[in-house]
Amino acid sequence: MNSLEYRLHTGLSLSLLLLFSLLWFLGQRSMNELTHDFVLSRMDHDVESLLSALKVSNNTIHLQKDRMPLVYQQPYSGHYFVISAARQANISSRSLWDQSLSVPELKTGERLIQITQGPQEQELLQINMAFNKKGLKVIIALAEDLTAINARKQEFKTYFFILSLSGLFILLVLQSIIIRLSFKRLKAVCSDIQELAEGEIVKLSENVPSEVLPLVQEVNHLLSLLEKRLERSRNALGNLSHALKSPLNLLYQYLYTDQQQKLRKHLPDAQKQVERINQLINRELKRARLAGKGGSSQRFNPAEELPELIRVIKQIYAQHPLVISYTIDQSISSFGDREDMLELIGNLLDNAGKWARDKIIINISSLQNEQLKMVIEDNGPGIDAKQQDNLTRRGTRLDESVDGHGLGLSIVHDIIKLYSGSINMTQSPELGGLRIEIKMAIS
């Protein structure tokens, strides 16, 4: 399934199951080692008591039975021992009755622990140790019945299993409730998206969990970009419609006149208006070429996009070859929205291409506080200080003889405003033409 809630619930459940299985395994192992260590510590003490109760005379060992605990004198008491020495019969505890224990061959100082079977086929923990008692090698095998301890261990395992199973079930239920309550907060985002689609709100609420807040912020940022772009498109269409209205009205008057003589008289004017309409359409087609291909949410990569944009500009102004050079700060990988930056830089290069004699320079560098500086210079005639303030007004044209309807730099101004930037126009000290310097945030 592709549900994030299902995957999270399954992953956490498997993790809890693995954790409890590991806890169960370690608990059983620890319990076995703990009980064995406890029994062995007591048996070590009894071995020392047996060793101290042994006497050696004439290379023969004797056991002082009055120094032995009574538990080793009761038949089948569950506590047994066998003492083995060279050249004499084994000494067994009375608790073994007519049975015996298997005594392994050990070297002096060696110690062996093993699980064996007792006289009544019960499980025994047996410790075997070899000593040197006044020159004689003595092996003591001491065993204790584990039946009672194993019963207690089994009882503990049962309780521990029930407790672990209950704890696992409770944790799974709590986990399911917590996950459902956590994902319930995401329903507000779904509700906002539905209201956004129905036009009831203009952006998503940012009162969401921190994990999805970056996603919501990016969506709101994209909505803001689309809103600004829609506004610019409406302005561009409005200006284009306004620019087409006048020549179309004149053509209508010229073509629908009743007098043939007047039609011939106004024919040159009509041709001018047709050429004007052709220029406006070509202008819009040129803007579409500058925008290029790609999604509306892509980032602008200057190292990849700028050479292609320069190639398009050179094609547009192929009638007078241009030499366009550029430098890009290596610390700048990508910035801004791709379509915004293509329209921004495309309009600046288009403006420079119209006026430059043959040379344009572009420089993109980084500033502090996540800002960048973009400078475009040309070797055209430039502008004076009085013209600079009017240049970014919508529809302003400095020379009516040059193709264009005066919207390019006003669009540039709108985009810079969207990115909280600034624009400054001066005379280029190097090339002598117009120098446009833009500073804006990298976002």
pLDDT band at 293 (very low <50, low <70, confident <90, very high): low
In this model, does residue 289 exceed pLDDT 80? no
Distances (CA, A) of 292 to 289, 313, 439: 5, 12, 24
Give the position of tokens 């126009």.
Answer: 425
**Fold entry, domain 4-151:** Beta-Lactamase (3.30.450)
In this model, does residue 64 exceed pLDDT 50? yes
pLDDT band at 254 (very low <50, low <70, confident <90, very high): low
Q: What is the pLDDT of residue 373?
A: 92
Q: What is the pLDDT of residue 326?
A: 92
User: Mean of the pLDDT values across residues 216-227?
Assistant: 82
Give the position of tokens 């990298």.
Answer: 442
pLDDT band at 395 (very low <50, low <70, confident <90, very high): very low
Q: What is the pLDDT of residue 328?
A: 92
Residue 255, token pair as written in the block:
């073509």
Q: In one letter, which amino acid is 209?
A: P
In this model, does residue 361 exceed pLDDT 90? yes
Which residues neighbour 393 within 8 Å (Cβ) at sequence distance 6 or greater? 410
Which one has a higher pLDDT value, 267 or 159?
159
User: Mean of the pLDDT values across residues 203-231?
Assistant: 82
User: Mean of the pLDDT values across residues 60-68?
Assistant: 80
Distances (CA, A) of 300 to 138, 257, 343, 398, 414: 90, 53, 11, 31, 18
Q: What is the pLDDT of residue 67?
A: 76
* Residue 341 φ then ψ, to 5°: -70, -35
Contact criterion met (CB below 8 Å) for 206 and 213: yes
List the CATH code of the domain at 292-441. Answer: 3.30.565.10
The SS3 assignment for 113 reads strand
In this model, does residue 74 exceed pLDDT 70? yes
Least confident of 106-120, 134-148, 278-292, 366-380: 278-292
Q: What is the pLDDT of residue 389?
A: 59
Distances (CA, A) of 206 to 178, 195, 213, 215, 226: 22, 15, 6, 10, 19
Rounded to an integer, what distance in angstroms lies between the CA atom of residue 101 and that of residue 83? 10
The per-residue pLDDT of the chain, averaged, comes to 81
Neighbours of 218 (CB within 10 A): 11
pLDDT band at 129 (very low <50, low <70, confident <90, very high): very high
pLDDT band at 323 (very low <50, low <70, confident <90, very high): very high
Give the position of tokens 């006289």.
Answer: 119
Domain boundaries, the chain: 4-151, 292-441
E-strand stretches of 86-135: 91-92, 111-117, 123-133
pLDDT tens digits for range 110-122: 999 998 988 888 8
Q: pTM of the full predicted structure?
A: 0.47
In this model, does residue 402 exceed pLDDT 50? no
pLDDT tens digits for range 37-49: 888 888 888 888 8
Q: What is the pLDDT of residue 363?
A: 94
Least confident of 163-167, 283-287, 296-300, 383-387: 283-287
Residue 368, token pair as written in the block:
């502090």
Rounded to an integer, what distance in angstroms lies between the CA atom of residue 381 and that of residue 406? 17
